[in-house]
Amino acid sequence: MAGDSSPGPKPVQERIARKYPRFPIDVPVEITFTRSGAKVVRSGRASEVSERGIAIYLSIDLFPGDRLLIELTLPYSHEPVQLDAVVRSRAGFRYGLEFKEMNPRQKQVVARTCSALSVL
């Protein structure tokens, strides 16, 4: 557009202000869920974390709204943590999960991890 001095479109991160920033991680994750009445356990990798959710790679079909139990050891933590989550988005085998019903200890572990990652 004539007279427009803007440098062009901004990267997605700059255009979307997130209430809870995401931080890159690379840790193994185990998920448990029920499918057709049977308990299913699968392993994958977590790639991002925020105080309210996580992105994981998992080679199984999950769908938005599916409820999961996630178990992982977050960076800068010594003990595994279990978190209830719901699938919010999917791109291939990358899933965006929202944490649900976190107790104070779970909130503290996730918040401490995000705080440590924010200074790197």
What confidence score (pLDDT) does residue 17 get?
67
Question: In 5-58, which ranges are continuous DSSP H helix?
Answer: 12-15
What is the overall mean pLDDT for the chain?
88
The CATH topology of domain 18-118 is Thrombin, subunit H (2.40.10)
Lowest mean pLDDT among 9-13, 111-115, 116-120: 9-13
Do 87 and 95 meet the contact criterion of CB atoms below 8 Å apart? yes
The pair of structure tokens assigned to 77 is 């933590």
pLDDT average, residue stretch 86-108:
96
Q: Which residues of 84-108 are buried (b: 16+ CB within 10 A; e: fewer)?
A: bbebeeeeeeebbbebeebeeeeee
> How does DSSP classify residue 34?
E
Rounded to whole angstroms, the Cα distance separating 115 from 112 reads: 5
Model confidence at 112: pLDDT above 70: yes
pLDDT average, residue stretch 24-41:
96
pLDDT average, residue stretch 68-84:
95
Q: Percent of the chain beyond pLDDT 90?
A: 78
Q: Which residue has the higher pLDDT, 91 or 7?
A: 91
Entry pTM: 0.83
Domain locations in the chain as residue ranges: 18-118
Which of these, 89, 85, 71, 82, lies nearest to 27 by C-alpha position? 71
